[in-house]
Structure 1
Amino acid sequence: MLLKKLTEAMGPSGFEDEIRNVIREEVTPYVDKHYTDVLGTLICEKGVNKNGPRVMLDAHMDEVGLMIVHVEENGLLRFRPLGGIDPRVLVSKPVQIGPQKRFGVIGAKPIHLQSPEERTKPLSLKQLYIDIGAKDKDDALSAVKLGDVAMFTTKYEEIGDHCAKAKSFDDRVGCAVLVETLKAQFDLPLYGAFTVQEEIGLRGAGPVAYRLQPDIAIALEGTVCFDVADAPGHGQSTIMGKGPALTVHDGQTIANRRFLEFMMSVAEKYSIPYQLRRVKGGSNDYGAIHKVREGIIGGGISVPVRYIHAPTQLISLDDYQNTIRLVSAILTELAKGGFTA
């Protein structure tokens, strides 16, 4: 299954080689041309000689991860995060490290040895380490090296009422939406950009938008969802199962009102459920794309992800399928001239 392939592949920010190869293999039969830019973004072209607006669909390949920065004399590994990770969710989690995917577990001082004061405070990054079972520093360095990256080991699984759990739904769910969209035919010039290094500052999206010069760009993303018990309505951002979320305002963007209303009207025309992303925190690649050259019109469409940036994340498969439907409907309407940039 596509979501399983994408979520289980390795690809922390700056180390997207494995996930890029997986995506390239998936899209090659369906696109006219594909290539990689100097930063590592995978660019796919389809029907670029057709009439109509040049549309770029963006989804970032990278996931949050950890980088090994020091090895203690006893063989334990110190690390720093790549992207926004809450250290409180890390202790005891299994990881895979480096190209060889050496198994390790994130450890900390056991509660039996903590002082009463220590027990009242959440663990910080400096109190955590990765244990790979090495007997000493030399043994550890024979298996991993400084600068290696680690990822969580969570496997994809469908659970509950049409839901799925995995690591890296941010943004492998957006990548899956883009792959499925590239399999279809649309009567306009279409570019798919699987970008790099979004989690550390939207770094890959700007250069590819500068290169392609699209008339319209849409970022496909997994976004924060906090619809659990006791969450106030104004702090939920999105609700899982209520459809794809359209960005109104986030940390990098205020939505173009005309294009937002166009996307809403398309969803309503095709009877596709949708919601508005209701908090301003965070962002997605459109935050970098819309500022390129003279400015690029467009927006963001996101799949709600519970427990985002954590080792195990949760989505509704209905939201995923409805996002594919909405993107397809928007491209169909753009090809008919339903919106002028």
Structure 2
Amino acid sequence: MKAMVLTGHGGLDKYEWHQDWPVPQPGPMEVLIKVGACGLNNTDVNTRSGWYSKSVNQATTGGAFDEAGAEDPTWGGRPLTFPRIQGADAVGAVVAAGEGADPALIGKRVMAGGWVRDWDDPENKDKAGYFGSECDGGFAEYTKADVRGVAVVDSSFSDAELATFSCSYVTAEGMLSRANAGAGDTVLIPGASGGVGGALVQLAKRRGARVIAMASEAKHAEVAALGPDLILPRAPENLRAALGEEKVTVVADVVGGAQWPKLIEVLERGGRYTCSGAIAGPVVELDLRTFYLRDLTFTGSTVTPHHIFTDVVSYIENGEIRPSLAAAYPLSDLKEAQAAFIAKKHTGKIVVIP
């Protein structure tokens, strides 16, 4: 089969294009999926570059990090096994079923859930891995997955459109769930033009919250289509003044960086900050007096309960959320697609088509 194979941590040159890579064989409780499309995500970039290493304190650049540690270069803080096929957001048709997997799934269109679980202890975060990281993912013509971690999707959306959902929307819904965001809240979302940011806008609105999006002004028109109540520039010089009379009760952040202290300063007393990324820089400055004197709550969000994935699938099928597909590239052009992703050339999600 055709596959884009990651050979090690580093720059885009660490990807190798193969046209004769072995087709995976489904084991017990696994299905083989002919991939129709697979989305790109920050985790693909960060894992490839080694950005997750605690030795790295820079913003995500997409380039190699010479200082990346050998022992903690992945989201879970463990070394990665190479060669590896990345790609968490695989969508396609089941073409074979292993022992114990229902053969009636053959021919069904499915979406792969990002989290690879120990199904004897599925909510144990310490036993979780990620599709395309701890096992091979969807940057290939075929991939395999545990049948308990995929979902049949009944939708008129194309494979490319469906491939924009899993990672971004599960991440966003997990963040909002941990922050207990809902009606009566005003949610501030930095980086609203990105995949997770755009998902946060839609999902926070679905929960009945008032939504304030932050994005570069060149992308305001695209962000407006997602339905926020207010759009601000990406980094206002005076964020409090830009907000006017708005009272922010939740900040849902995947950006971090130099702007971070301003986000915390505008939270109302008793407000909640939830985070699942730091693309503008992972090391930030916090005045602990702001944290405790204002009774703030901070939550990190990475490994989500399995029901978050199935909830997102139901939102798709019920027409409650819609895709934000920016561009589709051939899988053989993954390097170009990832370069465009890193440069934020597009608003919304980029997918690759095998």
TM-score normalized by structure 1?
A: 0.25
Query: Taking CA–CA contacts closer than 8 Å with sequence separation of 6 or more, which of the two structures ends up with the larger relative contact order?
Result: 1
Rg (Cα) greater in structure: 1
